[in-house]
Structure 1
Amino acid sequence: MSGDLGPSAPTADARPPGPGTRRPGGRTARTRAAVRDAVLAGLTEHGYPGLSVEYVAERSGVHKTTLYRRWGSLEGLLADTLDLAGEDDWTPPDTGSLEGDLRALAHEVVESFRDPAMLASSSAIIAAAFQSQQAADALRAFYAERFRRCEAIARRAVERGEIPGIREGGIDAGALVRAVSAPLYFRLFVTREPVDGHSADQAAAAALAAARAGAFTRPENAAPTGA
């Protein structure tokens, strides 16, 4: 799934390293990148039901035996593709205000999916998550990492006094970011409606209003109300 809010089990010795571990470089890294690109190309062209290890082998130039030995299955290939997508250096916007940050996030979603190929491959990954538990787990981990990075947005907003003043960690940053992206993803992947700048601004405004009202405050951290 994409490099922003949108996404771009083998045997024990072949399982890709977990998040935060040191990644191999050189030939191994090039092989993983070639396989990742082949998986994304196959998803774009054929969708998950039409993707095969044979296709990935031919497209990537990596022998089928190697693919099975290192990734174990088609599900393992897809999971590692999502794992690679989460290794980028994307950081959430820092515009100086919560309103600006949320608007920037929303516009990133819209811009990411203007590319038909990106939309097609992302749709296929989401569809695969309904058919494969391993793909679902990988997709969930991808977004969990995105939400973790977005904690900075909530922290800065609290520090600036833009949302209810509570101790650090009292805002559910994941819920805040979901509130921005969910209306856009619904249009893109469920109703298949077009999205544009107005759609992005509308989603950001709704999330901002909810944040200011304390909708994303964790119950145990809510500031006491006056008498």
Structure 2
Amino acid sequence: MNDSTEDPGAPAPGSRRPGGRTARTRAAVRDAVLTGLAEQGYPSLTVEYVAEHSGVHKTTLYRRWGGVEGMVADALALAGEDAWAPPDTGRLSDDLRALAREVVEGFGDPARAAAPTAFVGAAFQSPRAADALHSFYAERFRRCEEVVARAVDRGEAPASTDAGAVVRAVSAPLFLRLFVTREPVDGELADQAADAALAAVEAGVFSRRAPAPPDRPSEAVPAAD
């Protein structure tokens, strides 16, 4: 069974914030998906597993989510509806360090990292999971841009600073170690990543450049008599 069994007029999972029983069902499915991803990873996650651990009948799971891909995508969508806000220490340097340390704390502990790591793995195997992961982090980075906006207001960063590029630069070296080179991360590395991003901000590396003017046609040179 696939998504074609769903009511074509029904909203996509995660596209609204239902209440009451619907919200409880969605949360139960999300929790079961997180547990399954942490315990056995995306390839082994099944509708049967989610049904058993959520208490939601398989028929309902297929009808509302279409299958495992839909449930994983909706679990990420639900995670993105939280009230998380970036740090506000009053200094850009400390805000960037706090952001970097959140990455280390979230992925450095194997127990806490199991589900989010599985989400990343699922994104390489499922287009819907990849789209959901992209949307989740796009929203997270969008919220983090407030850190740079406040710094600009305080005069700590040039007004032309690309906030999105800055907050991505903070986590990029940490994610490289976590998911590419498979090296450990710690607080010292978090501070180093934040300090490198800050130095780049102060050097104007992340300043948006004004677009270059279009090339003007060269004027013809009069021929000599």
TM-score range with shorter-chain normalisation?
0.7 to 0.9
How far, CA to CA, are the matches of 2:42 and 2:14 in structure 1? 24
Asked if 1:126 corresponds to 2:126, the answer is no
Q: CA offset at residue 14 of structure 1? A: 5.2
Inter-CA distance 207–106: structure 2 relative to 1 (3 Å threshold): same
Counterpart of 1:214? 204
**Within 1, Cα distance between the matches of 2:70 and 2:114?**
20
- Higher mean Cα deviation, 184-193 or 55-64? 184-193
Find 1:96's aligned residue among 72, 90, 93. Answer: 90
Shift of 1:117: 2.6
* Separation (CA, whole Å) in 1 of partners of 2:197 and 2:164: 12
Q: What percent identity do the matched residue pairs reach? A: 69
- With normalisation by structure 2, the TM-score equals 0.86
Normalised TM-score (structure 1): 0.85
In the other structure, the counterpart of 2:214 is none
2:165 to 167, 170, 175: 175
Which residue, out of 145, 148, 155, partners 1:151? 145
Higher relative CO (CA 8 A, sep ≥ 6), structure 1 or 2?
1
Helix, strand or coil: the match of 2:86? coil
* 5+ residue gaps, structure 2: 212-225
C-alpha distance in 1 between matches for 2:155 and 2:88: 16
Paired residue total = 207
RMSD between superposed Cα atoms in Å = 1.8
Verify the 8 A CA contact 1:14 1:69 in the aligned structure 2. no
Q: Helix, strand or coil: the match of 1:191?
A: coil
1:86 aligned partner: 80
**Tell me, what secondary structure is at the counterpart of 1:90?**
coil
Matched-pair contact (CA < 8 Å) for 1:154–1:173? yes
Find runs of 4+ consecutive structure 1 residues off by over 6 angstroms: none
Q: Find the residue that maps to 1:82 and give its secondary structure.
A: helix
1:73 Cα deviation after fit: 1.8
Tell me the amino acid that sits aligned with residue 97 of structure 2. R
